[in-house]
Homo-oligomer: A and B are copies of this chain.
Amino acid sequence: MLKNGFNGTGVEAILKEANVPKGSFYNHFPSKEEFGLAVIDQFRADIHAVIGPILADRSVRPLTRLRKCFETLTDRFERNHCTRGCLIGNLALEMSGQSESIRHRLAEALRQWIDAFARTLTEAQQAKAIPADLDPRRLAESLVASFEGALLLGKVTKSPEPLTNFVTLFFGRILTKKAKKRVQGSTRS
């Protein structure tokens, strides 16, 4: 489903991959849509197992934690030969117009990530690591949206470069105190 999408993955192919007898699918799931919701929940749990511990590690500075999340996800993407990407993002574009229950479940997953990143950005702001006039919540939304977009470009070009480009732009240009440093530099000169 990660590689071929929801409609590109037939129930028969799922049964074959899972090595379970034909006909047993509907004993477990009332519909393919319900199966899709379970797959979304599983993917969300998988990603939480990756980024949860990184974000919770208070011994590391907030921005370093955030950056490590995206670098770890970029590594995963590259290990899978840039073919899978994010199930939530993939289904968001494929299924939002076809199933309201899937759309709501996807929105919920994205919201959870945005909330987690917004909390870390608030910590960064309290530590004066990012400018005080940035809105942590809107910034977290932009991080999630732009990373999903980088995955999209990475999937279509089969390259991790849009993802490293994303990390460089956000952590080199936006989530920095660079502007402040420049001011100090100028004052000294």
**Chain A interface residues toward B at CB < 8 A:** 3-8, 83-85, 89-90, 92-98, 103, 106-107, 110, 138-139, 141-142, 144-150, 152-153, 155-158, 162, 165-166, 168-169, 173-174, 178-179, 182-183, 185-187
Contact A93 B93 (CB under 8 A): yes
**Across-interface contacts of A178 in B (CB, < 8 A):** 179
**Across-interface contacts of A93 in B (CB, < 8 A):** 5, 85, 89-90, 93-94, 152, 155
Shortest C-beta distance, A140 to chain B (Å), equals 10
Contact A156 B186 (CB under 8 A): no
Q: Give Cα A149 to B156, complex, Å.
A: 14
Q: Give Cα A144 to B145, complex, Å.
A: 12
Q: What are 20 sample pairs from A and B whose C-beta atoms fall under 8 A apart? A: A5-B93, A7-B94, A8-B94, A83-B97, A89-B152, A90-B93, A93-B93, A93-B94, A94-B94, A97-B155, A107-B156, A139-B169, A142-B146, A145-B149, A145-B153, A145-B166, A146-B149, A147-B149, A182-B183, A183-B183
**Across-interface contacts of A182 in B (CB, < 8 A):** 179, 182-183
Which among A97, A98, A179 has the highest number of chain B CB atoms within 10 Å?
Answer: A97
**Across-interface contacts of A84 in B (CB, < 8 A):** 97
Q: Give Cα A149 to B145, complex, Å.
A: 4
Contact B169 A98 (CB under 8 A): no
Shortest C-beta distance, A154 to chain B (Å), equals 8
**Across-interface contacts of A4 in B (CB, < 8 A):** 97-98
Partner of A96, one of B83, B144, B183: B83
Which among A83, A84, A150, A152 has the highest number of chain B CB atoms within 10 Å?
Answer: A152
